[in-house]
Amino acid sequence: MTWLSHIKPDFWSVRPNSPGASRYMFNYRRIWKWSVLLTGIVSLIPLIFITLVDYKVTEQAFESEFRLRAARLVSNTRRVVGFFLTERRAALDFIARDNDPQALTDPARLAHILEGLQKSFGGGFMDLGVIGADGQQKTYVGPFSLQDKDYHEQAWFQMVVDRGVYVSDVFLGFRQVPHLIIAIRQNMANGSFQVLRASLGIGPFEDLLSNMELGGLGDAFMVNGRGVLQTNSRYFGRVLEPMSLPVPEYHPSTQVVDGLSSTGEKLQIGYCFIEDTPFILMIVKKNQDLMRAWHRTRLELILFLVFSVTLILGVILGTATYMVHNIHLADEKRLMSLHHLEYSNKLASIGRMAASVAHEINNPLAIINEKAGLIKDLFTIKQLYAGDAKLNSLVDSILASVKRAGKITKRLLTFARNLEATVEGVQLDELVREVFSFVDKEAQVRDIHIEVDVSPPGVAIRSDRGKLQQIFLNIVNNAFAAVEDGGHLRVKVRHEEGNDGVVLSFCDDGCGIPPEDVHRIFEPFFSTKTGKGGTGLGLSITYNLVHEIGGRIEVVSEVGKGTCFTIHLPNDIGHERMKA
Amino acid sequence: MRVLLVDDESDLASALAERLDMRGIEADWVDSGQEALERAATVHYDLAVLDLKMPKIGGLELKARMQARYPHMKFIFLTGYGSEKDFETVANDSGEQCYLVKPVEIEDLIRLMNILTQDAGGRP
């Protein structure tokens, strides 16, 4: 999860129950979560809703478009098929009216008429026959030998006799070839009648149906009312076989319905009953093929949704993180200045107290000094008790202690005086040694070796003595916390090469700082001494102080080897900066 | 050289006076500003060593009043309090760094006395 730790914003680690979280004004995780959630809801829900509506509307539009197209195709085909049959029936009707019944029984005349029909109407007419009222074929012209065949028991013959006109469905008949017949009753003057019958092959139908633009995988065919195929079908059987789909219910107009194939595939079935014929025209398409275009559109819609949602989520996450990160930064800055103020106040109080303590102690100390000095004078000048070595050494000891106490109070006074912001000439070696005088007791006790190397000796800059003292003290304290007993602290002061300033380095051989923490040590509240009394403010205050006096601070550290703080300071910070 | 020591801590002033005496410097001591003014009216002093902070009449005020009456007099301040402001005031007022922080080394005090009085002698 290291990549996560790289992109994880700082505020994420501030948990409500983590140490120090109560310092912050807000619960950043909660703000982030709520802003992501609310912005997400108000931007994503309308998008998803609109996309779903669009999805549904487009799907319905596709469906109704396909239905409309199927219905139009079925209607057009019905008109063509209907016209084909009507035209041929009208031709027979015309022949019956135009020719004397007797003349039609003449094979030569009939053959001449058939030839005319075949030439005028193209394909379709296979043969012609004249059947007497007794059902006996009187005359026949055509490729089959059907002369004298008896049709009086055939159902269709009765239908012609009853209705006058008859169009059959497709059957094999005597010739054993799929065909259909159109028959017309021709009444004769003597009250009898004869039947003029023509047979048509199914070729023209199949040509008509195969010429339709079904688009790829559609199927168009005709069935009769009993579900027997009247033309070959691509998927549902051969001519005169029963169709593998249910027979549609009668309806006077074109219908488009949903259906299922025997294998369970969803189908769209368009059909219509062709008037005055036994035929039902059916156009069947597989839903899957029809909806292919819709599937492409659907995929585009889904991709659009996924892309939009990703983009919106990305923007929301980015904006929320940026916003909360900035609030967190502002809050940290606020806290930092509060703490800085608190620190300065505390330091000022300590300064005042130190000065007051030093003053209070200095007066009695001065009395002791003078009294002991007087005793010493009595011994040495007046030569009283001059030979008493013990008394002399006692007085010397008192005077030495007074001197020592006086040094301490003077150091306290210097410390307090330094807290007042003034720009003055500061001798860096003197100041560094002064700072070490605060910790030399600890250094002695812990056997910490301190080396101060100032070159050239007496190097001085114009700066704020008090701030420099705080900076050095903070870094020295930090080093003391890092080194083991018997460790080393090396301070070097040098003129900066090619630059108008000085460089101070404080190097210890302590525990060092892990690489992942190095860049964070100047951040406020970052502490490795959490729970051990560290506020995490020492180095951050040091960093600010260095900047305030126009310098910069760098750190190099290696775990187990030690840490080096390098401070670059200008030779003269000038008065303008101090006023600012 | 005759010196007047003024310090509200009479233990300090008396001991210091005695030590100066032993070193051949004639020193009197008093423990308040009022007394100092009275004493200075009767005795001629070359130099006064004043505690900076005393009740009623402080060191600086006392110096001002004495200097007005006895322009030849030199002054050294003693202080147990080392704030920058005090030093600045003293330094600006006298134009010289004539102050010492308690506890003082007697040799430092005598050295400073000698410098001040020699300066005075050198002037026309």
Would you call B18 and A362 a contact, using CB atoms and an 8 Å cutoff? no
Cβ atoms within 10 Å, residue A32: 22
d(CA A60, CA A80): 30
Q: Are residues A172 and A144 in the same domain?
A: yes
The arithmetic mean of pLDDT across residues A232-236, rounded, is 88
Q: What is the DSSP code string of A174-232?
A: TTTS-EEEEEEEEE-TTS-EEEEEEEEESHHHHHHHHTS---TT-EEEEEETTSBBSS-
User: Is B102 in CB contact (< 8 Å) with chain A?
Assistant: yes
Looking at the fold, whether A472 and A342 belong to one and the same domain comes out as: no
Same domain, A341 and A443: no
Contact call for B84 and A410, based on CB within 8 A: no
The answer to whether residue A121 scores a pLDDT higher than 80 is yes
Domain-ending residue, one of A153, A180, A201: A201
What is the pLDDT averaged over residues A100-128?
89
Q: What is the DSSP letter of A572?
A: B
CATH number of the structural domain spanning residue A136: 3.30.450.20
Is the CB of A404 inside 8 Å of chain B's CB atoms?
A: no
A422 contacts B103? CB cut-off 8 A: no
Q: At A20, is the pLDDT very low, low, confident or very high (cuts 50, 70, 90)?
A: low
Could you say which of A142, A169, A201 is where a domain stops? A201
Q: What is the pLDDT of residue B92?
A: 54
Cβ-defined contact of B83 to A417 (cutoff 8 Å): yes
DSSP lists the bridge partners of residue A455 as A494
Specify the pLDDT at position A533: 47
Residues A444 and A522 in one domain: yes
Do A381 and B19 contact (CB within 8 A), yes or no?
Answer: no
Interchain proximity A370–B83, CB inside 8 Å: no
Q: Tell whether A293 is covered by a domain.
A: no
Q: A121 and A193 share a domain? A: yes
Task: Indicate the average pLDDT of chain B.
Answer: 83
- CB contacts of A359 in chain B (<8 Å) are 80-82
Q: Which residues of chain B does A414 touch, with a Cβ-Cβ cutoff of 8 Å?
A: 82
Homologous superfamily (CATH) of B2-122 is Response regulator (3.40.50.2300)
Cα torsion A241, A247, A250, A252: sign:
negative
Q: For residues B107 and B100, what is the distance between their CA atoms, to the nearest angstrom? A: 12
CB atoms within 10 A of CB A533: 8
Q: What is the pLDDT of residue A386?
A: 75
Q: Which of A391, A420, A449 marks a domain boundary? A: A420
Q: Does A407 touch chain B (CB under 8 A)?
A: no
CA-CA distance, A299 to B56, in Å (whole number)?
99
Q: List CB contacts (< 8 A) between A406 and chain B.
A: 102-103
Dist. CA A579–CA A228, nearest whole Å: 109
CA distance A178 to A166: 17
Residue A277 lies in a domain: no
pLDDT above 90 (res A217): no
pLDDT over 50 (residue A85): yes
Is the confidence at residue A10, as pLDDT, over 70? yes
Q: Are B42 and A400 in contact (CB under 8 A)?
A: no
Q: For tokens 């017949």, what's the residue?
A: A181
Distances (CA, A) of A254 to A78, A220, A280, A296, A408: 9, 14, 10, 29, 115
Provide, rounded to the nearest whole percent, the portion of chain B with pLDDT above 70: 81
Query: CB neighbours (10 Å) of residue A356?
Result: 13
Q: Do A370 and B16 touch (CB under 8 A)?
A: yes
**Does residue B8 belong to the interface with chain A, where contact is any CB pair within 8 Å?**
no
Assess B9–A contact: CB distance below 8 Å, yes or no: yes
Q: Tell whether B106 lies on the interface with A, counting CB pairs under 8 A.
A: yes
pLDDT band at A576 (very low <50, low <70, confident <90, very high): very low
pLDDT at A531 over 90: no
Q: B80 and A416 in contact by Cβ < 8 A? A: no
- pLDDT tens digits, one per residue of A266-311: 888 999 999 888 899 999 988 888 888 888 888 998 999 999 999 9
User: Is A124 inside a domain boundary?
Assistant: yes
- Contact between chains at A366 and B12 (C-beta distance less than 8 A): yes
What is the pLDDT averaged over residues A321-343?
86
Average pLDDT (B4-27) is: 92
Residue A552 belongs to some domain of the structure? yes
Are A406 and A453 found together in one domain?
no
* Residue A317 pLDDT class (50, 70, 90 cuts): very high
pLDDT at A111: 93
Partners of residue B18 in chain A, C-beta under 8 Å: 374, 377
pLDDT tens figures, A408-462: 887 777 777 667 677 888 888 888 888 888 788 788 888 899 998 888 888 888 8
A374 touches chain B (CB under 8 A): yes
B18/A contact by beta carbon, under 8 A: yes
Q: Which CA distances in Å does A166 have to A98, A100, A184, A222, A456?
A: 19, 21, 7, 18, 132
Measured distance CA(B39)–CA(A430) in Å, rounded:
44
Q: What is the pLDDT of residue A527?
A: 66
Q: Are residues A438 and A578 in the same domain?
A: yes
Q: How far apart are CA A180 and CA A195, in angstroms?
A: 15
Domain co-membership, A448 together with A578: yes
**Looking at the structure, do residues A365 and A512 belong to the same domain, yes or no?**
no
Q: Do B84 and A417 touch (CB under 8 A)?
A: yes
Is B92 touching A (CB cutoff 8 A)?
no
Which residues of chain A are within 8 Å of residue B5 when distances are taken between CB atoms?
none
Give the mean pLDDT of B20-34. Answer: 93
Alpha carbon of A363: minimum distance to chain B alpha carbons (Å): 6
Q: Is the pLDDT of residue B122 over 50?
A: no
Non-local (6+) Cβ contacts of A408 within 8 A are none
Q: Give me chain A's average pLDDT, please.
A: 85
Separation CA A243–CA A274 (nearest Å)? 18
* A230 and A222 Cβ atoms separated by less than 8 Å: yes
Q: Residue B86: its pLDDT value, please? A: 58
Same domain for A335 and A389?
Answer: yes
Please tell me the total count of domains within chain A.
Answer: 3
**What would the pLDDT profile of B42-72 be if each residue is shown by its tens digit?**
999 999 999 888 888 888 889 989 989 999 9
Q: From the CA of A538, how many Å to the nearest CA of chain B?
A: 26
Residue A248 has pLDDT above 50, yes or no: yes
Among the ranges given (A17-26, A325-334, A470-479), the one the predictor scored with the smallest mean pLDDT: A17-26
Distant-in-sequence, close-in-space partners of B42: CB < 8 Å, separation ≥ 6? none
Distances (CA, A) of A519 to A477, A511, A554, A562: 20, 17, 10, 16
Please tell me which residue of chain B has the smallest CA distance to A366: B103
CA distance B39 to chain A (A): 23
What are the sequence ranges of the domains in chain B? Answer: 2-122
Could you tell me if A364 and A498 lie in one domain? Answer: no
CA distance A265 to A179: 32
Summarize the confidence of residues A341-356 as an average pLDDT: 79
Domain that holds residue A171: 99-201
Q: Are residues A112 and A162 in the same domain?
A: yes
A136 alpha-carbon distance from chain centroid: 85
Shortest Cα–Cα distance, A562 to chain B (Å): 39
How do beta strands B99-101 and A179-187 pair? unpaired
Residue corresponding to tokens 């003055």? A424
pLDDT in the model for residue A22: 67
* pLDDT tens for each residue of A484-502: 889 999 999 988 877 778 9
Contact assignment for A417 to B78 by CB distance below 8 Å: no
Q: How is the beta sheet containing A255-260 ordered, strand by strand?
A: A219-224, A279-286, A266-273, A255-260
Whole-number pLDDT of residue A114: 92
A37 confidence band (pLDDT: 50, 70, 90): very high
Residue A349 lies inside a defined structural domain of this protein = yes
Strands A488-495, A449-455: pairing kind: parallel
Q: Is B15's CB within 8 Å of A374's CB?
A: yes
Residue A514 lies in a domain: yes
**Preceding peptide of B103 cis, ω within 30°:** yes
Using the beta-carbon criterion (under 8 Å), do A366 and B80 form an inter-chain contact? yes
Does the pLDDT at position A572 exceed 80?
yes
> Residue A212: inside a domain, yes or no?
no
CA–CA min distance A361, chain B (Å)? 8
pLDDT of residue A33: 93
Percent of chain A with pLDDT over 90: 31
pLDDT(B94) > 70: no
Helix, strand, coil shares of chain A as percentages rounded to 5?
Answer: 50, 20, 30
- Judge whether A22 lies within some domain: no
DSSP-assigned letter for residue A567: E
CB contact under 8 A, B104 and A362: no
Residue A524 to residue A543: CA distance in whole angstroms: 10
The partner residues of A256 in beta bridges, in order of sequence, read A270
Beta carbons of A255 and A199 less than 8 angstroms apart: no
Check whether the bond before A178 is cis (ω within 30° of 0).
no
Chain A neighbors of B88, CB-CB under 8 A:
none
